[in-house]
Every structure is written in structure tokens, then in C-alpha cells.
């Protein structure tokens, strides 16, 4: 498509009231040496997969509604070749859920790392992200061991399911690489 056509279509869409999806900016990711994509496939494919949702900011707490929005966003992210149902809260205490799980932290502050999120009782301090911004960290854990993690900052809100689904999709792609290259990148995109 020609640039002039793209600009014209964008202008028409904005005039009609369509709002662009707010992209997430990945600000860091880590794949630990213990990570193997086949672990996720074996733990999740055809099964329920546990998700721990952490929202320390009392202003963002909408209880079960927020948890369901996050679960549906993960489900919509559709990890490649894995058919799973993400469960949280009381629903996650079912016999066929493994020791593998995700931790989704919204606006978690301090120097909390992916390792901290996988620990049995992670610290919960709200971050100062500014109004209308979310800092989302998604970690893949085996019991209390971090396997991979990714963090994104987005202008999406918990009231914007389309943008939240987009952010979760980007995080899942980075956090669950099919081909492991054990990497850590920081906010500037430099590999450590």
C-alpha cells in the first residue's frame, strides 16, 4: 500500500472515532539457563495453567473483574501450538495444575525482580508509573524458580481490553521464545 493511501485511511479511521491500539514498549526481558520452551508446552498443552495476579495499587483493584480481564488477555495472546486454559484464584487449586505458573504483576514498584515474583511470598509495593500508564511484568516460574520474564510499559489501562490484550501478546512472545538463546536485555535494548 502506498504511504498516501495509509495516511488517508488512518485519517478516515480517526475521523470515524476509531482509536489506535496503544502499543506496549518492552523495557526488559530475561530468559534463564533453566528455560526450555518444551517445559511450557508439557505443563500447559491441553491443561489448565495457573496464573498468579498481583496488583498492589489499591486504586487499580477491581478484584475478580481485573483478574478475569488479565486471564482473557493471556488467553487471547494464544501461545503458539499450546492449547491451555489460564486459571487464577480459587480456580487454580485443581489437581491437574502443575508447579509451573505465570505471575502477572501490574504496576509493581521497587527493585522487584522476576526471581522475587517467583518466590513464595513476593513483596508488593506499588510503582509510580503516572496516570494512564501500566507497567506489566509477566514471569514464567517453576515452583519458586524463575525461567523467563518480560516487562512492558504501555499507555493502556485496565479499562482498555484491546490494548491490554495487545500488551499481553507482545509480552508472551518475548517471554516464551520457541528457540532459547538465554538473554537478558535492559531498557535500552542492550543485551547483557
15 phi, psi to nearest 5 deg: -65, -30
Q: What is the pLDDT of residue 19?
A: 39
Residue 38 to residues 43, 48, 150, 158, Cα–Cα distance (Å): 8, 16, 18, 31
Residue 170 to residues 22, 95, 130, 160, Cα–Cα distance (Å): 12, 30, 22, 16
Q: Worst-scoring range by mean pLDDT, 67-71, 86-90, 95-99?
A: 95-99
Beta strand 85-87 pairing with 100-106: unpaired
Order of strands, sheet of 48-54, starting from the edge strand that comes earlier in the sequence: 85-87, 48-54, 100-106, 134-142, 145-154, 24-31, 184-185
Domain edges within the chain: 21-185
Helices 64-77 and 161-175, axial angle in degrees (round to 10): 50
CA angle 87, 92, 39 (to 5 degrees): 75
Residues 172-192 pLDDT 10s: 888 888 865 444 444 444 444
Q: What is the pLDDT of residue 17?
A: 39
pLDDT classification of 146: cutoffs 50, 70, 90: very high
Residue 20 to residues 9, 17, 30, 130, Cα–Cα distance (Å): 12, 10, 29, 21
Domain 21-185 class in CATH: alpha beta
Full DSSP string of 55-67:
---GGG--THHHH
Residues 24-80 pLDDT 10s: 788 888 888 888 888 899 888 988 898 988 886 666 556 677 788 889 889 888 776
Calculate the CA 114 to chain-centre distance: 12
Q: What is the pLDDT of residue 3?
A: 36
Q: pTM here? A: 0.75
Intra-chain end-to-end CA distance of the chain, in Å: 38
Residue found under cell 495476579:
53
Q: What is the pLDDT of residue 168?
A: 87
Amino acid at each position: 500500500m502506498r504511504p498516501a493511501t495509509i495516511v488517508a485511511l488512518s485519517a478516515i479511521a480517526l475521523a470515524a472515532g476509531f482509536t489506535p491500539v496503544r502499543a506496549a514498549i518492552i523495557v526488559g526481558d530475561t530468559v534463564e539457563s533453566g528455560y526450555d520452551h518444551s517445559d511450557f508446552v508439557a505443563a500447559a498443552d491441553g491443561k489448565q495453567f495457573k496464573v498468579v495476579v498481583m496488583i498492589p495499587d489499591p486504586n487499580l483493584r477491581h478484584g475478580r473483574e481485573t483478574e478475569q480481564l488479565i486471564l482473557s488477555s493471556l488467553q487471547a495472546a494464544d501461545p503458539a501450538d499450546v492449547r491451555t486454559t489460564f486459571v487464577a484464584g480459587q480456580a487454580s487449586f485443581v489437581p491437574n495444575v502443575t508447579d509451573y505458573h505465570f505471575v502477572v504483576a501490574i504496576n509493581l514498584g521497587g527493585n522487584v525482580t522476576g526471581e522475587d515474583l517467583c518466590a513464595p511470598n513476593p513483596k508488593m509495593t506499588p510503582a509510580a508509573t503516572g496516570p494512564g500508564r501500566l507497567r506489566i511484568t509477566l514471569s514464567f516460574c517453576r515452583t519458586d524458580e524463575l525461567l523467563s520474564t518480560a516487562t512492558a510499559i504501555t499507555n493502556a489501562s485496565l479499562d482498555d481490553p484491546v490494548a491490554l490484550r495487545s500488551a499481553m501478546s507482545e509480552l508472551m512472545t518475548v517471554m516464551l521464545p520457541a528457540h532459547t538463546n538465554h538473554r537478558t536485555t535492559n531498557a535500552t535494548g542492550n543485551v547483557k
